[in-house]
Amino acid sequence: MNLPLVAESYLNALPRNPVIARMFRAFTLLMIIALSISSTGVARPKKGTGGAAFNKVTDVDAVSITISVGSDGNTHEKYAITDSTRVTLNGAPVNARDLRAGMIVHIELSSDGKTAQTITAKDPPAHPARGRTG
């Protein structure tokens, strides 16, 4: 089927059958909605449901870890560390006391939303603007 294209508008290339045109518009709308939903995901934990967070360590001690949340880094969250908390640094198991401020962490929370179940840490970026670790 050859569709005539007019230089003024690409809308003339749409199917002339109203059923097909409606299906095309519905498909386009669904794709726009799906893309907008998938691009709004945030890596903040949901309180009380067990969640995950990707953030920077600001302080760590024997019983808790404090991380900066968000792109501005002005919001801080504190999570409890227990004997059952699994901690890794660059893929190797370590103790929580081996973590330092500035490291990038992924924290999986327990169901209470206040206790770290696993902490996966990476070295801080050598060049923060480019996100390269070093």
| CATH number of the CATH domain containing 81 | 2.40.50
pLDDT at 88 over 90: yes
Mean pLDDT calculated for residue range 47-60: 65
- Considering only residues 119 and 3, tell me which one the structure prediction assigns the higher pLDDT: 119
Please provide the average confidence, as pLDDT, over all residues in the chain: 76
Instruction: Report the C-alpha gap between 52 and 34 in whole angstroms.
Output: 23
Q: Are residues 58 and 117 in the same domain?
A: yes
Provide the whole-model pTM: 0.55
pLDDT at 96 over 50: yes
Q: Are residues 37 and 58 in the same domain?
A: no
The answer to whether 103 and 124 have CB atoms below 8 angstroms apart is: yes
Instruction: Return the pLDDT at 81.
Output: 92
Instruction: Return the pLDDT at 21.
Output: 80
Q: Are residues 121 and 72 in the same domain?
A: yes
The 10s digit of each residue's pLDDT in 14-46 is: 667 778 888 888 888 888 888 777 654 444 544
Q: What is the domain count for the chain? A: 2
Which residues form the domain of 99?
52-127
Q: Are residues 36 and 57 in the same domain?
A: no
Q: Are residues 22 and 57 in the same domain?
A: no
Residue 34 within a domain: yes
